[in-house]
Amino acid sequence: MSIVRMNRITTLIFAISFLLTGCVSKEETTERMYQALENVVEAEEPFEEQQEPLVELEKQEKEIYNQIMALGMKQHDEIVKLADEALSIIDKRRGHLQKEIDSINASKTEFKQVEEIKNEIDDTEQKKKAAELMEVMRDRYKVHNQLTKDYTSALDHDKELYLMLKNESVSYEKLEDHVTNLNTIYQKVYDANEEFNALTAQYNEKKLEFYEEAGLKLENE
């Protein structure tokens, strides 16, 4: 029931004009790379859209959990009612998570184009910057994959918790063990989320570095 929020990759917050000299093919390659990178941003827009509702749902569930803990097992009917509300929220969270996963998968598909264009770059420094950018993004995708696995596990254990709470005969020791295990899982989610956000920030920096190395004039909008 820990609240996490993942940062997004950013579209370039500048107006761009090309200041390339030399052959036309070089300019076309850079323009294509720019468009491919911004297509990745567009593919992740649905990912960004899931963050706020996910955080809100996590807050709602946490409030319900606190209400249940304040009631005590003697008020079982109320606990069952609240647990059912929490189970409904978990289903909604799972739905938002799937949309997020779909968005990242679409991003991966778009990013394959970046890899193809990178192989066409002749300039050594540009190619180096592109390679650095790609390495960070691959790490970011890898971490997100682990993050979603951990988050899915957390949702599964959340569901088990509320089903246990609906069981009037469940022991305090069993609940305590389950909550301890759940907290461990959410710590993994938190750690992966922190790493993902750090890689996202690093990717945004690497993308800007590539644009500058490629000879793009960046102007504030």
Residue 3 is assigned to a structural domain of this protein: no
Predicted local distance difference test score (pLDDT) of residue 13: 41
Q: Is residue 8 part of a domain?
A: no
CA–chain centroid gap for 176, Å, is 30
Is 221 or 189 the better-scoring residue by pLDDT?
Answer: 189
| Range(s) of the domain holding residue 67 | 14-220
DSSP state of 17: E
pLDDT in tens, 189-212: 999 999 999 999 999 999 999 998
Cα distances from 173 to residues 74, 125, 169, 179, in angstroms, run 17, 61, 12, 10
> Phi and psi (nearest 5°) for 216?
-90, 135
Q: How much of the chain exceeds pLDDT 90, in percent? A: 74
Range in 19-23, 47-51, 82-86 the model is least confident about:
19-23
CATH number at residue 146: 1.20.120.570
pTM: predicted TM-score of the whole model, two decimal places: 0.88
Number of domains within the chain: 1
User: What pLDDT sits at residue 174?
Assistant: 95
Whether 40 is covered by a domain: the verdict is: yes
Element spanning 92, H or E: helix 76-118
Which among 131, 121, 101, 120 has a CA at the least distance from the CA of 207? 131
Radius of gyration over every alpha carbon of the chain, rounded to an integer in angstroms: 23
Least reliable range by pLDDT among 17-26, 49-58, 124-133, 140-149: 17-26
Question: For the ranges 2-16, 74-88, 119-133, 161-175, which has the lowest average pLDDT?
Answer: 2-16
- Asked, for residue 4, whether it belongs to a domain, the answer is no
Does residue 102 lie in a domain region? Answer: yes
